[in-house]
Amino acid sequence: MVDPQPAGGDILVYAKVHDPEARVRVRQLLDDLPGERVNGSLYEVFTADWDEGLWEEEVERMRGLIDPATDTLIFWQVADGKLVRTCLAGRFA
């Protein structure tokens, strides 16, 4: 069995972008945020010490890069002791 490891961030981001240019831009945006890339589509972002509203600004930047008809962009974060999913594009949107 694999040993569990603590997450590197407090928001989990799944991004699947079909357009190659947009994919590079979304990956660069996510790579520039504090946290770590788990694989090509999954990121852990650390926002615990951010000022209010900064995460929403990053979300709007990502929203401007994706095509909701073909891409998937989902965030999970814990809020009030519950795991909350936000889907900007994809199956749950």
**What CATH code is carried by the domain that includes residue 83?**
3.30.70.240
Model confidence at 93: pLDDT above 60:
no
When pLDDT is averaged across residues 9-16 and rounded to a whole number, the result is 91
The domain of 80 spans 11-89
- The verdict on residue 69 lying in a domain is yes
| Count: domains in the chain | 1
pLDDT in tens, 24-83: 999 999 999 999 998 989 999 998 889 999 999 999 999 999 999 999 999 999 888 888
Q: Is residue 3 part of a domain?
A: no
Give the pLDDT confidence score for residue 63 in this predicted structure: 93
Q: What is the pLDDT of residue 8?
A: 64
The answer as to whether 4 is a domain residue is no
Confidence (pLDDT) at 2: 78
Q: Model-level pTM?
A: 0.85
Cα–Cα dist 26/36, whole Å? 14
Does a structural domain hold residue 5?
no
The yes-or-no verdict on residue 7 having pLDDT over 80 is no
Question: How many whole angstroms separate alpha carbon 48 and alpha carbon 76?
Answer: 14
In a domain, 2, yes or no: no
Would residue 48 count as lying in a domain?
yes
**Cβ atoms 72, 89 nearer than 8 A:** yes
